[in-house]
Amino acid sequence: MSDRFSLRTEDLTIRFGGHAAVDGVSCAFRPGELTVIVGPNGAGKTTWFNLVSGQLRPTAGRVFKDGRDITALSPSARAKAGIGRAFQLTNLFPQLSVLENVRLAVQARQGAGASIFRRAARLDDIRDEAARHLESARLAGVAHYPAAALPHGDQRKLEVAMLIAMQPDIYMFDEPTAGMSVDEAPAILDLIAEIKKDAAKTVLLVEHKMDVVRALADRIVVLHNGELVADGAPDTVMTLPVVREIYLGVGADDEEEVA
């Protein structure tokens, strides 16, 4: 069974006690489409991300990747199925080198993680590919530094480089430019724009900065109190009364709930 949607959630719901953090979200995404997910603090954007990438299990509802039900799969199995996720709070392997961080992602994709007695040729490929990803993320100069030693902006870049190294079908970015300086954010946005060119990839992006949203979004999905309240082309969605109401009520604060 297959459908033309690369990713679909059906009535996706998670309750923490009585509180529904994500409440019956049904939403579908096509390849070649970049969707920005917006919503005020606590709207459930990151929680919805966690449900899709498997860090959280839903109370109800299902997740489909290319028509296949993946609701029961572990995060690692979903990663293998092509769902790649970058995290809002920097989530690296701090004591490992920058190169090793990316190499791990390449290696996971190639299924080479379990090999004990292989080292030479295969690993060179993996390392070269990892080095290429670092190059395009402009991190080649710090390849041998422990990830923890990088400044915040570079850690964010590494986070994105690791996602790109996974080469997933579905890219999920959770506020990739959060906390970055004005001169640094474009580097990340260029990387995302590059991915967008590939018609086979689906990109989901949680972002607050309106200039970013305008520059990249093909479509905007608005979440509020865990519910999907608007979904459509950027121009139409941003003028909807319900969206204006939400945003005017909350203001343009850039902080987001903790994952």
- Binding of other proteins by 109 (CB under 8 A): yes
**Cα distance between residue 135 and residue 258, in whole Å:** 31
123 binds other proteins (CB under 8 A): yes
> Which of 24, 31, 32, 146 contacts other proteins by CB under 8 A?
146
183 lies in the site for other proteins, by CB under 8 A: yes
User: Which residue shows structure tokens 């007695």?
Assistant: 117
Does residue 142 touch other proteins according to CB under 8 A?
yes
Query: Strand, coil or helix: what is 60?
Result: strand
> 3-class DSSP state for residue 139?
coil
Name the phi and psi angles at 195, rounded to 5: -65, -40
Compute the Cα dihedral for 133, 134, 137, 138 and give only its sign.
negative
Nearer to other proteins (CB atom), residue 193 or residue 259: 259
Q: Does 129 participate in binding other proteins (rule CB under 8 A)?
A: no
Residue 92, interface with other proteins (CB under 8 A)? yes
Helix, coil or strand: residue 10 = strand
Question: CB 23 → other proteins: shortest distance, Å?
Answer: 24
Alpha carbons 183 and 257: distance in angstroms, whole number: 25
Among 16, 67, 68, 95, binds other proteins (CB under 8 A): 95
Q: Which residues bind other proteins (CB under 8 A)?
A: 53, 55, 74-77, 79-80, 84-85, 87, 91-96, 100, 103-105, 107-109, 112-119, 123, 126, 138-146, 149-154, 162, 166, 179-184
